[in-house]
Amino acid sequence: MRKKILGGLAVLAIAAIAAWNVNVGLKSNDLLSDIALANVEALAQEIPNPPPPATKYVSMYVTCFDSKGNPKGSRRACYSNGYSDCVPTSC
């Protein structure tokens, strides 16, 4: 009889500790949820002045040739993505 009472008290103590741990765990998840929600809200806000793209255009100098294939100078060639900062030159 004594073993059954001690076994029952042990089971009751383990159940009480488990319930307390679950309660503490739920409270800490509430804090995590608040932090996660604040992070999502901050990320969802629109950036007022987004930074410009790092590369607006590619500019290179190309050698020009005459009708006989002799080099006669160079010109600037521009390959842009809709930007007009690069101004090509002629030979």
69 phi-psi bin (left φ>0, alpha ψ -120 to 50, beta other): left
**Greater confidence, 50 or 60?**
60
Mean pLDDT score, 43-71:
74
Q: Could you tell me the two tokens for 34?
A: 């608040």
Give tens-digit pLDDT for 17-53: 998 888 777 666 566 677 788 888 888 877 777 666 6
> Where along the chain do its domains lie?
1-46, 53-91
**Greater confidence, 70 or 14?**
14
Query: Residue 14: how many CB atoms within 10 A of its CB?
Result: 10
pLDDT band at 14 (very low <50, low <70, confident <90, very high): very high
Q: Could you tell me the two tokens for 71?
A: 């080099």
pLDDT at 85 over 80: no
